[in-house]
Amino acid sequence: MAHAYIPRKSDKFTFGLWTVMNTGRDPFGDATRPALSGLRAITELGKRRVYSYELHAEDLVPEGSAAAKRDKIVREAKTRMADADIKATSIGCNIFYDPVFKDGGLTSHDPLIRQHTIQRYVKAIDLGAELGTTLCNVWGGREGAECDAAKDPAEGIKRFREAFNYLSEYVRGQKLKGFRLSIEPKPNEPRGDILLPTSGHVLGFIATLDHPDMVGVVPELAHVRMAGLNSYHEIAQVLECGKLFGIHLNGQKPLRFDQDLRFGAEDLKESFFVVKVIEDAQWPGTRTFDAHAYRTVDRKGVWDFVEGCMRTYLILKEKVAQFNSDLVVQGILGELSQEAPALPSPRALKAKKFDLRKLAKTRLPYEELDQRVQEILLGVVR
């Protein structure tokens, strides 16, 4: 299986502008590498065969920019996109950095802060439409609490619902063909507890909206693992529901702070199964990397990080093909799978006798199967 693992535009790899613009600053230390503009990030990603980019509106157009400056930046972005053959596929906005959002934006107690936050998303949708995106992704990083006495979570959900119904109507009113909204769940950090913390919470919430067909989920591997859950299972459920509007790929040690490590760096087997569920389903969306280069590296190291994320995905994609064609694996799976007969009527089911001793003796060679997966990933099986 000789392969150079060189990405192509058809692989549909995507990076958030914020990922490569990251300067290495963290809560305990200042920047370790020079800043990079959003415009320069677009050009550099395009050079590296990246299909598209995602952005916070503020990554490209600073908040408060005059109309003339905004329009000039947008024109320049479009020129660079054409020159580098790179698209924009998703937009959001930064409602977590400014002190005004210290207690949330869409769910703030203050109705004027809520209106300002919705205003930012409306402007982000406009900018996204100009750049050709078809998705506005909402990450509610400050939509939560540390002090439960101060917040009624049910009221917070109602405010979330009001915002999404408003934004859905705005998109419909603007007649933005194919434009959709999504929610990116996260359990905690920077807030103690964030509303809609997992994909299951988000799926339940979407069902209560006025236009549930317009709203989906963008799970992030690190966020799932921060909750101690299995990202493969979470993504599979969202995919099965037809609600996988995007995916953010990265690496994460479970139950830690949000590390945003290079894809596959800490959770190789789980990453393998995430790639498997996406590729087996022939999911048409972009494979977006939402991670940061180590704080210890310089600007060149950032581009090594970009290449590394894509290379790991392509290696795991090759391993998926190997898994799917491996005779040992397929033999075990064939042994396990049984054709399911139609369920009998309740009356017949209640009368049916089951030989539990016989059923309990069913062979489940999971040790053999798991070891085979391990050896495929380790490169022992050829």
Which residues participate in catalysis according to the annotation?
56, 59
Give the integer Cα–Cα distance in Å for 125 and 139: 14
Half-sphere exposure of 67 (CA within 13 A, CB side): 1
At residue 373, the 3 state secondary structure works out as helix
Please give the full DSSP string across 13-58, using - where no structure is assigned: EEEEHHHHH----BTTB--SS----HHHHHHHHHHTT--EEEEEHH
Kindly report the length of the chain.
Answer: 382
- Which of 127, 45, 67, 18 lies closest to 303, judged by CA? 45
Bridge-based pairing state of the strands 87-92 and 144-145: unpaired
The single-letter code of the amino acid at 330 is Q
CB 96, CB 190: distance < 8 Å: yes
Give the integer Cα–Cα distance in Å for 71 and 68: 5
SS (H, E, C) 231-295: HHHHHHHHHHCCCECCCEECECCCCCCCCCECCCCCCHHHHHHHHHHHHHCCCCCCEEECCCCCC
Give the integer Cα–Cα distance in Å for 108 and 321: 48
Cβ neighbours, 10 Å, residue 174: 13
Sign of CA dihedral 29, 224, 317, 183: negative
At residue 154, the 3 state secondary structure works out as helix
- Cite the beta strand spans of 108-198 per DSSP E: 135-138, 144-145, 180-183, 193-194
The helix or strand, by DSSP H or E, that contains position 217, with its residue range, turns out to be strand 215-217
